[in-house]
Chains A and B, each alone.
Chain A
Amino acid sequence: MKSSLCVYVESIGLFGTGFENWMQGGAILRGEKSFEATDFPLPSPEWLPPAERRRTSDIIRLALCAGREALTTANQAITDTYTVFSSSGGSGEVIHQICESLAAPERDVSPTRFHNSVHNAPAGYWGIATRNEWPSTSLCAHDASFAAGMLEAAAQAARCAQPVLLLVHDLHYPEPLNGVRAVMGLFSVALLLRSTKTAAAKFSIDVSIGANESSETAMHNAELESFRTGNPAARCLPVLAAMANRSNERVILQNVNGTHLTLEIHSL
């Protein structure tokens, strides 16, 4: 049985190496601006209470900033969304600091670092920032973490009346973790999705799973292609490119277990 689910994209948030926001990123993806692999400073999440804001790690700030753009550019003020967070590895910085502390004689692990080490730390801070009590999940599927998030977000949207905010993010690790898991730069995307078509719908995406016969969709630009393969969250770049160009396209994403995800993207 072949199944597909349709979701409608109502807004987009984007931040990362070379990408300041969806408007500027869209211009890059349309080829109107060149892609420059510079890292913009991560904005401080001013909408978090000061105590929480001080405790945020890099991955939390990264996730929150794309998520906030998706919410603030949506046609309506939406805080009652379900959320699906996905990341290949969460914060390498926090894991590195904890493992360094544990290798030292004192084993002095900071309590803030420890609670920031959980994979769902961005979801926890997001909930506090948005006062959102709706269900939230935090996924990992290594290099296929965007595909996993998309699958779950589509399945969740089909089961609830509200929109689902999908947030996928990954950033480079410090040494020595970088030596065993190289993640390029930083990348964070947020898509506000709904299973029904409203006036706010900008694109539709049909999501289905296939066996891995076709190769995944690549970026034409060599630098963007190397970023796509270098950062797991940036695997969604062909999806964003299709939406930026308002072109109807089929994008193939590599998924786990020798499968792929097929996304049929239509501009509305």
Chain B
Amino acid sequence: MNLSKFTLTNALGAGNEATWAAIVARRSGLSRCAFETADIDTFIGQVPDAALLPLRADLGHFECRNNRLAQLCLEQDSFAETITSAIEKYGADRIGVFLGTSTSGIFSTELAYREREKHQGALPPNFQYAGTQNNYSLAAFVSAYFGLRGPAFVVSSACSSSAKVFGNASRMMAAGFCDAAIVGGVDSLCLTTLYGFQSLGLVSNQPCRPYDVGRSGISIAEAAGFALLEKSLSATEDIQVLGVGESSDAYHMSSPHPEGRGAQKAMREALAQARIRPEDIGYINLHGTATKTNDAAEGAAVAALFGQATPASSTKGFTGHTLGAAGITEIAIAALALQRGMIPGSLNTQVLDPEIVINYQLNNAPSKLRYVMSNSFGFGGSNCSVVLGIGKDTEENRSMENGVSTP
């Protein structure tokens, strides 16, 4: 599949240029938590409230923080114009919408629950369940924004959601149910995730330090990202999605398998689909949440598959952990790394964990990249690994047989 267009918005700013400029300047988007009434000693990645403008007048029934963030993102990098052209090319019924979110517009429900006393225990009469809290709200909003009439659904598999949608889109296109697809995802700040991750002891009281020996947990953040996927064309300079590996840990609800067994499986499958070898990958954008267990498990999996050779880093020191939007955020950052020939070095990481023996990058480094990988892992043991490639000769360079997957 061709990654014909992509855009991302997060605490580093709106649009691809803002994110890339911050990475080049090594500026973090994290700040001390001052979200709404949250009273938690932590750092978060917040998109300024002032940037989250009301929804287009005809889409008022989707009004919530999550869809405002979606709208802000859709209007960057001429993404909306690209979709308008795609509709002319394919027809509104031939473009699918497959998006990821973990908490959708739950923040609206949290606020509505505070109003119950005024309404005899009920939620306020203006509360719109379908357009806000329901997980499908995001895909319904994006479909309505463009007037699309093709297949659409939301994938909600926690922090792997917006990576896994690349797999859904490839299957839907292969089945002939659509010719192109909008993929990506949006997750916005809410009290459920702030207090929920705190209850699990996974929230750091400092800006997160992925793969650091003293890492102490995640920095929760919000983000949106979208991409247009089209069937691969010959002779293209576009970035291509070459493999989407998915697997399940089948181990624990909120802890990864200690040796990263599921993570390894997802990475192997992505490489097999891409028909490349581990050594062909020039950069791995790690899931790297900065919890003790995630980084140890992912590091073990990467070491088993790539040894100490392949440069790798987590970019969550810049963006924070954008949860259901982490997949698209980091696939887009990996795509920017490919296009601009630079490996982003980890931010905030000071002393590498000596137990994790991989080629973890602390500094930005120029590099002519041809293939990159992005990892996303979520609660419930949901793993996804995506391989991207760039350049006309991507197809010819690939040597390995596209084998049938094995668990």
Report which A residues bind B (CB closer than 8 A): 1, 3, 5, 52, 55, 80, 86, 88-90, 95, 98-103, 107-111, 114-121, 123-125, 127-128, 130-142, 144-145, 148, 151-152, 154-156, 158-161, 175-177, 179-181, 209, 211, 255-259
B155 close to A (CB within 8 Å): yes
Q: Do the beta carbons of A159 and B171 come within 8 Å of each other?
A: yes
- What is the CA–CA distance of A123 and B382 in the complex, to the nearest angstrom? 9
Interface-centre pick from A55, A134, A161 (highest chain B CB count, 10 A):
A134
A211 and B121 contact, CB distance less than 8 A:
no
Can you list 24 A-B pairs with a CB-CB distance of less than 8 A?
A: A3-B176, A88-B134, A95-B109, A95-B133, A108-B199, A109-B199, A114-B199, A115-B196, A124-B379, A127-B251, A128-B253, A133-B248, A135-B167, A135-B246, A145-B136, A155-B175, A159-B174, A160-B405, A175-B122, A176-B116, A176-B122, A179-B122, A256-B152, A257-B97
Q: Given A133-B261, A179-B122, do A114 and B200 touch, yes or no (CB 8 Å)? A: yes
- Minimum CB–CB distance for A258 against chain B, Å: 5
Query: What are the 7 closest A-B residue pairs judged by CB atoms, nearest first?
Result: A124-B380, A3-B176, A114-B196, A119-B156, A135-B246, A140-B135, A127-B250
Q: A130-B250, A135-B247, A139-B153 are in contact. Are A120 and B382 (CB under 8 A)?
A: yes
Q: Give the contacts of B275-319 with A (CB-CB under 8 A).
A: none
- A-B CB contacts (within 8 Å), total count: 234
B48 interfacial by beta-carbon distance below 8 Å: no
Asked whether any CB of chain A lies closer than 8 Å to the CB of B265, the reply is yes
Q: Out of A3, A123, A134, A138, name the residue touching B175 (CB < 8 Å).
A: A3
Q: Which has the most chain A C-beta neighbours within 10 Å: B135, B155, B252? A: B135
Give per-residue flags for B250-262: 1 if the beta carbon is below 8 A from chain A beta carbons, else 0: 1111100000011
For the A-B complex with A116-B253, A137-B155 known, give 13 more contacts whose Cβ atoms are closer than 8 Å.
A101-B195, A107-B39, A108-B199, A109-B196, A119-B157, A120-B380, A123-B248, A125-B253, A140-B153, A144-B153, A151-B177, A152-B172, A257-B143
B81 interface residue per 8 A CB criterion? no
Query: Which residue from chain B places its CB closest to the CB of A2 in the assembled complex?
Result: B176
Interface residue ranges, B against A (CB under 8 Å): 39, 93-94, 97, 102, 106, 109-110, 113-114, 116, 121-123, 127, 129-130, 133-136, 139-140, 143, 148-158, 164, 167-168, 171-172, 174-177, 179, 191-192, 195-200, 246-254, 261-262, 265, 378-382, 404-405, 407
Residues from chain A with a CB closer than 8 A to the CB of B382 are 120, 123-124, 136, 138
A82 to chain B, nearest CB (A): 9
Question: What is the CB-to-nearest-CB distance from A109 to chain B, in angstroms, rounded to a whole number?
Answer: 4
**With a CB–CB cut-off of 8 A, which chain A residues contact B197?**
114
CB atoms of B168 and A137 under 8 A apart: yes
Contacts of B133 in A (CB 8 A): 95
Cβ-defined contact, B140 with A119, below 8 A: no
Give every chain B residue within 8 A of A158 (Cβ-Cβ): 171, 174-175
- A118 cross-chain contacts in B, Cβ below 8 A: 102, 156-158, 378-380
Instruction: Point out which of B140, B192, B253 has the most chain A C-beta atoms below 10 A from its C-beta.
Output: B253
A residues less than 8 Å from B247 (CB atoms): 133-135
* A173 and chain B: residue at smallest CB distance: B129
Partner of A161, one of B127, B149, B404: B404
The answer to whether residues A259 and B150 also contact, given A120-B157, A137-B157 and a CB cut-off of 8 A, is yes
Contact check, A80 vs B200: say whether CB atoms are below 8 A apart.
no
Q: How far is it, in angstroms, between the C-alpha of A241 and the C-alpha of B2 when the chains are bound? A: 42
B150:A257 contact, CB within 8 angstroms: yes
Give the nearest-CB partner of B149 in chain A. Answer: A257
Task: Kindly state the separation between the CA atoms of A161 and B404 in the bound complex, as whole angstroms.
Answer: 8
Q: How far is the CA of A115 from the CA of B255 in the complex (A)?
A: 10
Residues on A with beta carbons closer than 8 Å to the beta carbon of B248: 123, 127, 132-136
A contact residues around B381 at 8 Å (CB): 124, 127-128
Output the least CB separation between A154 and chain B (Å): 7
With beta carbons under 8 angstroms apart, the residue of A90, A117, A152, A161 that contacts B168 is: A152
Is the beta-carbon distance between B379 and A180 smaller than 8 angstroms?
no
Given that A141-B153, A141-B154 are known contacts, is A89 also in contact with B252, CB under 8 Å in the complex? no
Given contacts A80-B407, A257-B143, contact A99 B134 (CB under 8 A): no
- Which A residues are CB-close (under 8 A) to B139? 141, 256
- In the bound complex, residues from chain A placing their C-beta under 8 Å from that of B156 are 90, 118-120, 138-140
Q: How far is the CA of A3 from the CA of B121 in the complex (A)?
A: 49
CB nearest neighbor in A for B244: A135
- A100 (CB) vs chain B CBs: closest residue: B113
How far, in angstroms, from A222 to B261 measured CA to CA in the complex?
50
From A52, A89, A175, A257, B121 is in contact (CB under 8 Å) with A175
What residue of chain B has the Cβ atom nearest to residue A129's Cβ? B250
| Interface contact A138-B116, CB-CB below 8 Å | no
